[in-house]
């Protein structure tokens, strides 16, 4: 009886010790620099949405030339979770990533406050 109890407590202690490691190992969703690094050229739009876990805050469609041929491409914009940077991902007409950008914000809190109040 004591041996079974000791095995049970050992199992519980092992689970308690391994739980933080498992949680740390799971990928974090959201607009982070780590997730930005996971985006690769040629990746599908749905895969990018799955990595970030949310729809973009802004998108634009462009028609133009890339080399000798005319193309239609889209840019999607996400703000990072702490709103200190913007991620821009460009997709071609087949919904595949062509380029990506990470743009840090140089706007201070005071500048944001002035912009929100529309002060000069």
Our count of domains for the chain comes to 1
pLDDT for residue 120: 75
Residue 109 maps to which CATH number? 3.30.1450.10
pTM of the predicted protein model: 0.62
DSSP tag of 57: S
Residue 2 covered by a domain: no
Residue 21 covered by a domain: no
In this predicted model, what pLDDT tens digit does every residue of 1-57 receive, in sequence order?
Answer: 677 777 767 776 666 666 565 445 545 668 888 999 999 999 999 999 999 998 888
> What DSSP letter does each residue of 21-77 carry, written as one string?
HHHHHSPPPSS-HHHHHH--TT-BHHHHHHHH-S--SEEEEEEEEETTEEEEEEEEE
What is the span of the domain harbouring residue 76? 28-117
Residue 20 covered by a domain: no
In this predicted model, what pLDDT tens digit does every residue of 46-102 receive, in sequence order?
Answer: 999 999 998 888 878 877 776 777 777 888 898 887 778 889 999 988 899 999 999
Residue 7 covered by a domain: no
- The closest alpha carbon to 102, from 92, 119, 89, 113, belongs to 89
């Amino acid at each position: 009886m004591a041996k079974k109890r000791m095995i049970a407590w050992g199992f519980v202690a092992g689970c308690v010790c391994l739980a933080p490691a498992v949680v740390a190992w799971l990928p974090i969703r959201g607009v982070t620099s780590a997730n930005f690094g996971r985006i690769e050229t040629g990746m599908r739009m749905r895969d990018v949405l799955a990595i970030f876990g949310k729809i973009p805050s802004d998108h634009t469609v462009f028609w133009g030339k890339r080399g000798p041929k005319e193309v239609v491409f889209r840019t999607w914009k996400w703000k990072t979770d702490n709103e200190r940077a913007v991620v821009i991902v460009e997709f071609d007409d087949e919904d595949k990533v062509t380029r990506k950008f990470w743009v840090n914000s140089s706007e201070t809190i005071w500048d944001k406050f002035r912009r929100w109040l529309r002060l000069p």
